[in-house]
Amino acid sequence: MNLNNKTLLITGGTGSFGKNFINYLLKNHSNLKKIIIFSRDELKQYEIKKTLIKNKFFSKLRFFLGDVRDYQRLLIAFKNVDVVIHAAALKQVDTAEYNPMEFIKTNIIGGQNIIEASNYNKVKKVIALSTDKASSPINLYGATKLCSDKLFTSANHFFGEGSFSVVRYGNVAGSRGSVMPLFMSQHDTGFFNVTDKNMTRFNISLKESIELVMWSIKNCYGGEIVVPKLPSYKIVDLAKSINNKSKINFTGIREGEKIHEEMISLSESLNVLDIGNKYIILPYNRKKLSNYYIKKFNVKKIKKSFSYNSQNNSKFLSIIDLKKIIKKLKSENI
């Protein structure tokens, strides 16, 4: 999709992804008609306004207070919108275990509200952001995101093909609440708390996550889940890259936590296309969608018994690689 003179709305637009995505759009897609920042946090919207008030394209920004739980508010916000990027979610694993209904209301019912408001307003393209925790979930957060993924991919059956797609990726380096800023804040404490010595995670930068979403706006057919090929890292190596003199305390797995994350499960691999630097998870019995990718990209076959997880990944970040990432995050004041 060409974004010239289009209106784009970001739910959860004041989060880590939203703020960086807005800056990217203002710099690279100033021909957009409007950019709508939809979120429930008045203070964060005010802070973004202060940061961007001198930007020459500030007049293109619109700030909508609202919650994805509020369907009526979404109906108003989505009027004349061409593209919706759905980034709003409750995300803390341990918090979800204690407050399950709140996560269900935001991540599942909120997702359904996005779909229905988009359909009512004839939004042309909706990209929902997901997480590696949605694959074979063992915690409530992951389960709510899996339900959300299913809602968005299935919505194309009811509301017409081509509108709804999902992007699934791993830990965003430097995002609020992630492990890198946490460990960076513990640099001078003399120790790091690590739950398990074998723990691994996927890694993606904010820039890469934005590029992935932009690729999806341009290329997604509707109904698929887009999974980027990402490097993994060992949590222990991350701690060492920040301060190799600090002691590492192994505290034990927390409730709902995995030792290794997964983005494509063994069962899902039956419907996966390899298009080079990405995997495409297809819904069942969608030959038209499969043919679209086969014609457009150099598709490779997936091996039988394939799964894509952070433990068996072919690429791992070294301590030197992680030091470079940490240095960059520090220069960006993250």
Contact 83, 9 (CB under 8 A): yes
pLDDT of res. 188: 79
Tracing tokens 């513990």 back to the chain, one arrives at 186
Please name each of the domains of the chain with its CATH number: 7-331 (3.40.50.720)
pLDDT of res. 202: 94
List, for residues 118-142, the tens digit of each pLDDT value. 999 999 999 999 999 999 999 999 9
Complete DSSP assignment for 1-28: ---TT-EEEEETTTSHHHHHHHHHHHHH
Contact 244, 326 (CB under 8 A): no
Largest CA distance in the chain: 57
pLDDT of res. 330: 80
59 burial (CB, 10 Å; 0-12 / 13-18 / 19+) is exposed
Tens of each residue's pLDDT in the chain, 334 residues: 889 999 999 999 999 999 999 999 999 999 999 999 999 999 999 999 999 999 999 999 999 999 999 999 999 999 999 999 999 999 999 899 999 999 999 999 999 999 999 999 999 999 999 999 999 999 999 999 999 999 999 998 887 666 899 999 988 887 776 788 888 888 878 888 899 999 999 999 999 999 999 999 999 999 999 999 999 999 999 999 998 888 999 999 888 889 999 999 998 888 899 999 999 999 876 788 889 999 999 998 788 789 999 999 989 999 999 999 998 888 776 5
Cα 119 from chain centroid (whole Å) = 22
**What values do phi and psi take at 126, rounded to 5?**
-125, 125
Other Cβ atoms closer than 10 A to 222: 22
For residue 281, what are the β-bridge partners? 225, 272
For residue 129, what are the β-bridge partners? 167
pLDDT of res. 332: 74
pLDDT of res. 285: 66
Indicate the DSSP class of residue 222.
Answer: S
Q: What is the value of pTM for the model shown?
A: 0.93
pLDDT of res. 148: 98
pLDDT of res. 323: 93
**What values do phi and psi take at 296, rounded to 5?**
-90, -30
Indicate if the alpha-carbon torsion angle 231, 258, 280, 214 is positive or negative: negative
Task: Considering the candidates 6, 19, 60, 133, report the single residue annotated as catalytic.
Answer: 133
Does the annotation count 133 as an active-site position? yes
Residues in the chain: 334
pLDDT of res. 175: 78
Tracing tokens 């960059």 back to the chain, one arrives at 328
